[in-house]
Amino acid sequence: MGRWEPDAAGRLREAAMALYAERGYDGTTVAEIADRAGVTARTFFRHFADKREVLFAGSELLGQDMAAALAAAPADASPMEAVTAAVLASAEFFDDLRRDYSRRRAAVIASTPELRERELIKMASMTTSLTDGLLARGVDPDVAALAAETGVAVFRVSFERWIAAPDDVPIADVIRSTLKTLSALTA
Amino acid sequence: MGRWEPDAAGRLREAAMALYAERGYDGTTVAEIADRAGVTARTFFRHFADKREVLFAGSELLGQDMAAALAAAPADASPMEAVTAAVLASAEFFDDLRRDYSRRRAAVIASTPELRERELIKMASMTTSLTDGLLARGVDPDVAALAAETGVAVFRVSFERWIAAPDDVPIADVIRSTLKTLSALTA
DNA sequence: CCGGTGATGTCACTGACTGACATCGCCGAT
DNA sequence: ATCGGCGATGTCAGTCAGTGACATCACCGG
């Protein structure tokens, strides 16, 4: 056993989720989160850049996975087909185990403008990943930007629908359905 | 003449733009902005909710105008046609007079994550406006959400292209071009 | 001329975040 | 085995964003 309990970051994440859900984001201080995790506030800020980030750590991974799927798409796939592959790849992040956690987390985020802002910028960074991936495939810049934006819009809408859907609906199905809606929309 | 110089809010906006551009957002304190505008920091917060908002005051108007255009679209217009009308209506906000200001403002925002977050949430609220407008037209909720997201994506991409474009290109042309790209994309 | 009102100033306070420095178990080199 | 450096944490002092409570005072309607 080390000088301190291991996984301070994990304890901080759990403490934050619990307190945000219980007293709300504004009603929670960083000192309280740190206390519950058994560390000091200074340590909180060594693990997370700010009070919001504790709910979003690791979210880069999702963007990376999607970018990887995009890169792995057949060379002759159209931009939108490649983006579709990327969005479908996101489904693996949200297996049924995470569904309940996702719901609680989404509820907290939805109730606090500051957290909504942070979520939006994560989505924007996802958009950037996809755009870069498309550019690497030789796609025209304007097309790439638009295809990426559209792809993330599909992800966002699908995720929301999935959260609200019954437990036995897999997210991949929701995504496919959203993609269908999109093509009907612009037909 | 009143007890104080009129238009404190306007002076604060100008002071903020100047200082953010000059020293950067992080390198500027609210006290400095207030000083330059000839008021106290407390007064700054009476006019703007926070240090970011001073660059975004009035941005609800854009969303309102777009929502109005959407509502004014012919009853038999498809969701995407209605959204198209809304996005084109945004062009009137950005006449050539505001182009230079828009460029400076965009540069400041682009260089500061906090400001990018705020801009993103404004875009999200625009999305909500469009979604609500579509719902009021009787559009299916999922279709409405997706059409609104797509419309805002078109606006965002167009605005960026317009900023980067030569001075004689009107934003309406850029928007029309982006819409064309979109329909080609999902064809 | 007078009392109400609205925009501002003043002050004290909380809480997020940062930089500098101290602490001390652990682990590898000797 | 022990010595010394490293890394994760604690401590402390400080800056700055943002808020609530109360005072001020030119202006305006009666």
A92-101, A130-139, B16-25, B102-111: which has the minimum mean pLDDT?
Answer: A92-101
Question: Residue B72 is encoded by which pair of tokens?
Answer: 């004014």
Residue whose token pair is 């759990």: A14
**Cβ partners under 8 Å of residue A128, min gap 6:** A148
Mean pLDDT of A63-73: 97
Assign A1 a pLDDT band (cuts: 50, 70, 90): low
Q: A62, A176, A174, A186: which is closest to A129 by C-alpha?
A: A62
Nearest protein residue, CA measured to C1' of D28: B2
Q: What share of chain A is helix, strand, coil (3-state, %, to 5)?
A: 75, 0, 25
Running DSSP on this structure, what letter comes out for residue B3? S
pTM, to two decimals:
0.95
Assess A117–B contact: CB distance below 8 Å, yes or no: yes
Q: How far is B14 from chain A (nearest CA, A)?
A: 25
Residue A98 has pLDDT above 90, yes or no: no
pLDDT tens-place string over residues B26-76: 999 999 999 999 999 999 999 999 999 999 999 999 999 999 999 999 999
pLDDT at A52 over 90: yes
Mean predicted lDDT score pLDDT of chain A: 95
Instruction: Tell me the shortest Cα–Cα distance from A176 to chain B, in angstroms.
Output: 13
Task: Output Rg (C-alpha) for chain A, integer angstroms.
Answer: 19
pLDDT (tens, 9 = 90+) of chain B, 187 residues, equals 678 899 999 999 999 999 999 999 999 999 999 999 999 999 999 999 999 999 999 999 999 999 999 999 999 999 999 999 999 999 998 877 789 999 999 999 999 999 999 999 999 999 999 999 999 999 999 899 999 999 999 999 999 999 999 999 999 999 999 999 998 987 7
> Mean pLDDT throughout A77-106?
93
What is the rounded distance in angstroms from the CA atom of residue A181 to the CA atom of residue A82?
Answer: 18
* Cα–Cα dist B102/B110, whole Å: 12
CB of B82 closer than 8 Å to CB of B134: yes
Contact yes or no for A84/A150 (Cβ under 8 A): no
The conformation of residue A63, written as its DSSP 8-state character, comes to H
Provide the positions of strand D that have an atom within 7 A of a protein CB. Answer: 7-13, 16-21, 25-27
CB contact under 8 A, A160 and B145: yes
Is nucleic acid strand C under 7 Å from A50's C-beta? Answer: yes
Tokens of A111: 């109730």
B131 dihedral zone (left: phi>0; alpha: psi -120 to 50; beta):
alpha
What are residue B170's phi and psi, to 5 degrees?
-75, 150
Q: Residue A179's closest chain B neighbor by CA? A: B146
| pLDDT value of position B1 | 60
Whether residue A186 and residue B186 make contact (CB cut-off 8 A), yes or no, is yes
